[in-house]
Amino acid sequence: MSEQKTVYLADYRPYSHVVESVDLTFRLHPTATRVVARLSLRQNPARKDRDHLRLDGEGLKLISCKLDGQAITPAVDERSLTIAAHELPDGPFILETEVEIAPEANTALEGLYMSKGMYCTQCEAEGFRKITYYPDRPDVMSRFKVRIESDLPVLLSNGNPVASGEGWAEWDDPWPKPAYLFALVAGDLRAHSASFVTASGRPVDLNIWVRPGDEDRCAYAMDSLIRSMRWDEQVYGREYDLDVFNIVAVDDFNMGAMENKGLNIFNSRYVLASPETATDDDYYRIEAIIAHEYFHNWTGNRITCRDWFQLCLKEGLTVFRDHQFSADMRSAAVRRIEDVVTLRSRQFREDDGPLAHPVRPESFVEINNFYTATVYEKGAEVIGMLKSLVGDAGYKRALDLYFERHDGDAATIEDWLKVFEDATGRDLSQFKLWYSEAGTPRLKVEETWDNGVYTLTFTQKNPPTPGQPIKHPKVIPIKVGLLNPNGDEVVPTITLEMTRAKQSFRFEGLAARPVPSILRGFSAPVVLDRKAPPEERAFLLAHDTDAFNKWEAGRALAKEVMADIALKGAPVSPAWLDALAAVTFDDTLDPAFRALCLRLPGEDDIAQTIHAMGRIPDPAKIHAARREMTGALAIRLGEGLSRLYKDLDDNAPFSPSAAQAGRRALKIAALGLLSRRDGGKLAASAFARARSMTEEVGALSALLEVGQGQAELVSFAARWGRDANVMDKWHALQIAHAEPAEAAAVAARLIGAPGFDWKNPNRFRTVIGALAANHAGFHHRSGAGYRLVADWLLKLDPLNPQTAARVSTAFETWPRYDAARRKLARTELERILAAPDLSGDLREMAERMLAAG
């Protein structure tokens, strides 16, 4: 591998040329595809100098090159093709190149590759340069015409279909776009079709393309697409802008899905669903990802990013939009809680370790390594804060202005903030720190009660992160409500705007000292450092009118109980058990909410909390503490659990609705606890009777957790062995429920099994990801977890560096642990770095992680 260079935001310069239009011809062949690219070029008037023409290109075999029809011999190296300035005409000119590539040999799944006989592309972020010579940067936008020649029956590209015949098809995309949005698909595919008429009356053909046999598992994805299209019209006033919208499901894909203009490409696990094969969680994710990719058509495609440092411009905003959509489609409260759980387990974890970086980074080596929880999830939170600060009406004005002013642009975070400033008159210079400074702020709270005046004083601490030792106070919207001691709300939710390091807010005219409900709806991505007595947490769990904070009170209590058990060997708190029992059996509450309350904090989350207390987490003790709490809960909830289970175990015909999913979630939570009492008897019969994958997996999981379920594993495999996406659940469950000392061995056995396709990213992530997620197993003191993950990263890296690098984040928390574990982890990271021919992707990750220790 050639040495990769660090790229800096500060070095941005517009490209030397403008690409007026692109004509691409593909003659598809597994080992020798020919790509002819005809670029209409002229000098960029935004550049004063007269520069050479440098096109990106990697792994291409140049067959020919013509400038205005004349054959030339350009300078070519491993990464580019260059034509000297003095060889270029003064006016517009045409450059035509022909290259040869081998899609079948492309295991990195970037550029043009093959998956089970079908051709497909992935160009974000820098994959187009593996297809042809081109200025592969998002600020170069052009009109693409594509001709595909192949014997395969279905030939797709971006835009609208123009013409087709035996063995060929032509596509024309009228919307200028950057190369990362280019896509091509060719295969023996079947369509699940529907139609849509936009608000202004434009008819659109919708197709979801899948392998033969999968057509009957596309209905939910199609329904989600139609609802997304309608929602974006109604809520953001954004209409679709082509005659067709195509989605293709592919089995080999590095990420979740990709928003290519008019031709979204999806990891098949986020398209295909039927009650027998998809869990409720799968249904939710399909809906959310279909929406996400569709919403990119405006936030990402019509308005794209000037450079990859601005990635959060499209991703943070599009995640924010898909969260809004899911909240509208489902329960807003449940969605908010789930989103915060994810934020904490992925983004807070990232922010707290060696890989911490700002929402808008200022340098990178490999851009693929910056598709992170910080850019996506924190990027969305930052927009949520902005909306709280300017209000719903201000947000709407700003977004309307954004679309009006920047349609067709490759924009920046400065542009984004400017529309908010112009639309609302607000100065956002301090707010911008959320984009430039990494790390999760910690918020301390003091209260005083004096003669009817209640005062809340907040102190914010912004911790140092790698490369950013000094931080500044942030603007923090803190939503607060006050309850009186009877549990009535005396001050409904208001937004306090904190801008200084320390700041007080007074409340007057109260009859009694109130109980505060702080950071309602999780109004800012911060850690609230507030000691509260267990009684107060229990009080809020019972009475808070804000659903998020109601849940959060129980969550905070559970975390304290778990940390006390792990650190001090404390007994399981009866106050926690009583409070949770009250919620579990409160039939006035949404079953989905009750199920969320019954889900105990994760072990990694507790390790993060203990680390923040300045202590060293012991994974074995945390694991034991969590088990002890579950056991005590099963006893405390007693007979009521069986009644609850029976009430929820109805015969209603299956629907993937949020309401029914909530009932199933509570039923399965009850089943898990009941299994601790009956050794899995009920779960075994629930498995046998299961009518949906949610129930099947729920019962199997309950069985495995109590050391049962071997026969059920066999029957599951017999039933689903041919469906790899379903079998991912079977693999993940076994690793998730393995005893810590055995987790690595279980994972090793599964990934090494004959016929297991570990080169497929879904398979690899399932097994290695499940091991990394088994906290006590991955961090087992033997070091077997670390060793196995490193072994497999090294095996995958030469084939698929992008996925290897992503999965390597398993190690990002290693500096938290004791000296013996740190030594074991360090050894593995050093072993990775010592590998000959290590990819730039994995090298950057390992180096950044090691730098912290």
Where b means 16+ CB within 10 Å and e means fewer, 28-56 reads bbeeebbbbbbbbbebbeeeeeebebbbb
Question: Do the beta carbons of residue 580 and residue 633 sit within 8 Å?
Answer: yes
Alpha-carbon distance 253 to 78, whole Å? Answer: 25
Q: Rounded to whole angstroms, what are the CA distances from 689 to 642, 697, 711, 728?
A: 17, 12, 15, 22
Say which amino acid occupies 199: A
CB of 324 to ligand PHE, least distance (A): 16
Residue 258 binds to ligand PHE (criterion: CB under 6 A): yes
Q: Which does 257 bind (CB under 5 to 8 A by kind): ligand PHE, Zn ion, none?
A: ligand PHE
CB of 253 to Zn ion, least distance (A): 14
Of the residues 137, 238, 292, 816, which one makes contact with ligand PHE according to CB under 6 A? 292
Q: How many residues belong to the chain?
A: 853
Applying CB under 6 A, the span of 257-265, 276-284, 817-825, 841-849 interacting with ligand PHE comes to 257-265
Q: How many helices (H) and strands (E) does the chain have?
A: 28, 31
Residue 315 binds to ligand PHE (criterion: CB under 6 A): yes
Say which amino acid occupies 367: I
Question: Which tokens sit at 782?
Answer: 């033997």
Residue nearer to Zn ion on the CB measure, 98 or 315: 315
Alpha-carbon distance 198 to 338, whole Å? Answer: 32
Angle ∠(358,364,365) on CA atoms, nearest 5: 155
CB of 257 to ligand PHE, least distance (A): 6
Residue nearer to ligand PHE on the CB measure, 138 or 521: 138
Q: Which does 260 bind (CB under 5 to 8 A by kind): Zn ion, ligand PHE, none?
A: none
Residue nearer to Zn ion on the CB measure, 315 or 841: 315
Residue nearer to Zn ion on the CB measure, 179 or 579: 179
Question: Which tokens sit at 830?
Answer: 């050093």
570 alpha-carbon distance from chain centroid: 37
Residue 108 binds to ligand PHE (criterion: CB under 6 A): no
Residue 585 binds to ligand PHE (criterion: CB under 6 A): no
Q: What is the dihedral of CA 159, 164, 170, 174, to 10 degrees?
A: -40
Instruction: Give, as ranges, the residues between 742 and 801 that touch Zn ion (CB under 5 A).
Output: none
CB of 586 to ligand PHE, least distance (A): 38
Residue 122 binds to ligand PHE (criterion: CB under 6 A): yes
CB of 115 to ligand PHE, least distance (A): 14
CB of 292 to Zn ion, least distance (A): 6
Q: What is the DSSP letter of 37?
A: E
Question: Which tokens sit at 366?
Answer: 């490999």
Q: Which does 98 bind (CB under 5 to 8 A by kind): Zn ion, ligand PHE, none?
A: none
Residue 543 binds to ligand PHE (criterion: CB under 6 A): no
Question: Which tokens sit at 168?
Answer: 């060929």
Of the residues 56, 58, 251, 259, which one makes contact with ligand PHE according to CB under 6 A? 259
Question: Do the beta carbons of residue 384 and residue 420 sit within 8 Å?
Answer: no
Q: Which does 636 bind (CB under 5 to 8 A by kind): ligand PHE, Zn ion, none?
A: none
H helices present in 94-244, as ranges: 219-236
Residue nearer to ligand PHE on the CB measure, 266 or 454: 266
Residue 257 binds to ligand PHE (criterion: CB under 6 A): yes
**Is 315 annotated in the active site?**
no
Question: Do the beta carbons of residue 72 and residue 35 sit within 8 Å?
Answer: no
Alpha-carbon distance 562 to 553, whole Å? Answer: 14
The active-site residue, picked from 110, 259, 293, 350, is 293
Residue nearer to ligand PHE on the CB measure, 365 or 610: 365
Applying CB under 6 A, the span of 133-141, 251-259, 574-582, 692-700 interacting with ligand PHE comes to 251-259
CB of 232 to ligand PHE, least distance (A): 15
Applying CB under 6 A, the span of 35-43, 122-130, 277-285, 551-559 interacting with ligand PHE comes to 122-130
- Bridge partners of 191, per DSSP, are 209
CB of 299 to Zn ion, least distance (A): 9
Helix (H) or strand (E) holding 492: strand 489-498
CB of 124 to ligand PHE, least distance (A): 4
Beta sheet of 515-518, edge-to-edge order: 489-498, 476-483, 515-518
Applying CB under 5 A, the span of 17-25, 182-190, 309-317, 745-753 interacting with Zn ion comes to 309-317
Residue nearer to ligand PHE on the CB measure, 259 or 546: 259
Residue 293 binds to ligand PHE (criterion: CB under 6 A): yes
Residue nearer to ligand PHE on the CB measure, 618 or 844: 844
CB of 246 to Zn ion, least distance (A): 18
CB of 288 to ligand PHE, least distance (A): 11
Q: Which does 258 bind (CB under 5 to 8 A by kind): ligand PHE, Zn ion, none?
A: ligand PHE
Applying CB under 5 A, the span of 145-153, 156-164, 310-318, 730-738 interacting with Zn ion comes to 310-318
Of the residues 56, 58, 98, 124, which one makes contact with ligand PHE according to CB under 6 A? 124
* Phi (first) and psi of residue 20, to 5 degrees: -65, -45
Q: Which does 371 bind (CB under 5 to 8 A by kind): ligand PHE, Zn ion, none?
A: ligand PHE
CB of 318 to Zn ion, least distance (A): 5
Residue 264 binds to ligand PHE (criterion: CB under 6 A): no
Q: Which does 350 bind (CB under 5 to 8 A by kind): Zn ion, ligand PHE, none?
A: none
Alpha-carbon distance 372 to 360, whole Å? Answer: 11
Applying CB under 6 A, the span of 228-236, 253-261, 566-574, 616-624 interacting with ligand PHE comes to 253-261
Q: Is 11 exposed, middle or buried (0-12, 13-18, 19+ CB in 10 A)?
A: exposed
Angle in degrees, 0-180, between the axes of helices 280-295 and 693-705, rounded to the nearest 10: 120
Question: Do the beta carbons of residue 254 and residue 123 sit within 8 Å?
Answer: no
Instruction: Give, as ranges, the residues between 320 and 379 that touch ligand PHE (CB under 6 A).
Output: 371
> Integer distance in angstroms from the first to the last C-alpha of the chain?
26
CB of 563 to ligand PHE, least distance (A): 35
Question: Do the beta carbons of residue 283 and residue 656 sit within 8 Å?
Answer: yes
SS3 call for 834: coil
Residue nearer to ligand PHE on the CB measure, 217 or 292: 292
Write the interaction track for Zn ion spanning residues 267-306; mark x where CB under 5 A is met and - where it is not: ----------------------------------------
Question: Do the beta carbons of residue 329 and residue 227 sit within 8 Å?
Answer: yes
Question: Do the beta carbons of residue 79 and residue 56 sit within 8 Å?
Answer: yes
Instruction: Give, as ranges, the residues between 314 and 353 that touch Zn ion (CB under 5 A).
Output: 315, 318
Residue nearer to ligand PHE on the CB measure, 311 or 682: 311
Q: How many residues bind Zn ion (CB under 5 A)?
A: 2
Of the residues 156, 255, 597, 634, which one makes contact with ligand PHE according to CB under 6 A? 255
Q: Is 794 exposed, middle or buried (0-12, 13-18, 19+ CB in 10 A)?
A: middle
Phi-psi region of 755 (alpha: psi -120 to 50; beta: other; left: phi over 0): left
Alpha-carbon distance 746 to 739, whole Å? Answer: 9
Residue nearer to ligand PHE on the CB measure, 549 or 802: 802
Cis, bond preceding 669 (omega within 30 deg of 0): no
Q: How many residues bind ligand PHE (CB under 6 A)?
A: 11
Q: Which residue has the tokens 């592969």?
A: 136
Nearest in space to 154 (alpha carbons), one of 195, 207, 106 = 207
SS3 call for 763: helix
Q: Rounded to whole angstroms, what are the CA distances from 55 to 135, 427, 646?
A: 5, 40, 66
Q: Which residue is nearest to ligand PHE (CB)?
A: 255
Q: Which residues are catalytic?
A: 293
Binding residues for Zn ion (CB under 5 A): 315, 318
Binding residues for ligand PHE (CB under 6 A): 122, 124-125, 255, 257-259, 292-293, 315, 371
